Amino acid sequence: MAKIIALANQKGGVGKTTTSINLGAALAKAGKRVLLVDADPQGNATSGVGVDKSELENDVYEVLINGVAAQDAIVGADTLDILPTTIQLSESEVQLVDLPRREFRLKDALAPLADQYDYILIDNPPSLGLLTINSFTAADAVLIPVQTEFYALEGLGQLLNTIELVRQGLNPDLEMAGILLTMYDTRTNLARQVSEQVRKYFEDRVYQTVIPRTVRLSEAPSYGQAIIDFDPKSLGARVYTEFAKEVMAQYG
Ligand code: ADP
Ligand code: MG
């Protein structure tokens, strides 16, 4: 059975997409069968793994709104598979409202794939709208990337409340996978202070692995590659490989 993990934080630019791509690729390199679902209309995960959006026949919008089978929209990228998105997904927040099973449509779509993958990672938009709710309803766990910057904790309460609400109704089994500290800048005291603060508050729910700020990680997407393929010896590649080990220790 695939472990379904939603990467979420309604704050933008915290490393959701970078972690989706690079955790996914590292899990795949370790022999896991991985599907990346791009649930953000911006489609950064889609282009980040080298998929040309203009060539796509189907996407996650067609799956969620028009009932196309997920299987028929999946594209094979380098090391993992992706259920890609295009900008038309931005219309779905409004359109989903009037559709039957509006919070369950991603869960229903992914159900037939459960035996084909070990991990399904869902990259989410920077909002807590119906797309993210669909992800939380479909997921076993939520992984929260938190940027080690000032204001890091702002908005986390709202995110945790949303998870709790989903747990009380739509998906009682939803758990918190953990908090991942990202973009850690070793040169600043602030990064250290923020990570100490996050660990003090969330204790063992914070992953041991910390993702450093490194320019290679920000360069890889423009080449349509995960860091592991783009620059296998880089710090970013090594750290995401470590993080994949931590996630496999947690979920197998
Ligand atoms: P989100 O999906 O949460 O909006 P992204 O993963 O797109 O965040 O990251 C935001 C920006 O920061 C992107 O330009 C990305 O390339 C860059 N970035 C992400 N993680 C790192 C990192 N560890 N070091 C340097 N740049 C990073
Ligand atoms: Mg993103």
Domain of residue 230, residue span: 3-251
Residue 77, pLDDT score: 79
Enumerate residues lining ligand 1, CB below 6 A.
12-18, 44, 126, 182-183, 211, 213-214, 217-218, 221
Q: What global pTM score does this model have?
A: 0.98
User: 144-202, pLDDT tens digit by residue?
Assistant: 999 998 888 888 999 999 999 999 999 999 999 999 999 999 889 999 999 999 999 99
CA dihedral 90, 136, 38, 105 (to 10 degrees): -70
Question: How many angstroms separate the alpha carbon of residue 143 from the centre of ligand 2?
Answer: 14
SS3 of 213, please?
Answer: coil
| Chain position carrying tokens 């969330």 | 202
Give me the pLDDT at residue 78, please.
Answer: 75
The CATH number of the domain holding residue 133 is 3.40.50.300
Number of domain units in the chain: 1
| Residue 151: predicted pLDDT | 85
The 10s digit of each residue's pLDDT in 108-156 is 999 999 999 999 999 999 999 999 999 999 999 999 999 998 888 888 9
For residue 65, name the pLDDT band (cuts at 50, 70, 90). very high
Amino acid identity at 174: L
- What are the CA-CA distances from residue 215 to residues 125, 219, 228, 237 (Å)? 23, 6, 14, 12
> What ipTM was assigned to the predicted interfaces of this complex?
0.99
Ligand 2 centroid, distance to 17 Cα (angstroms): 4
**CB-facing half-sphere around the CA of 185: CA atoms within 13 A:** 10
Instruction: Determine the residue of 11, 218, 223, 242 to mutate for testing ligand 1's pocket, defined as the one with the most ligand atoms within 8 A of the Cβ atom.
Output: 218
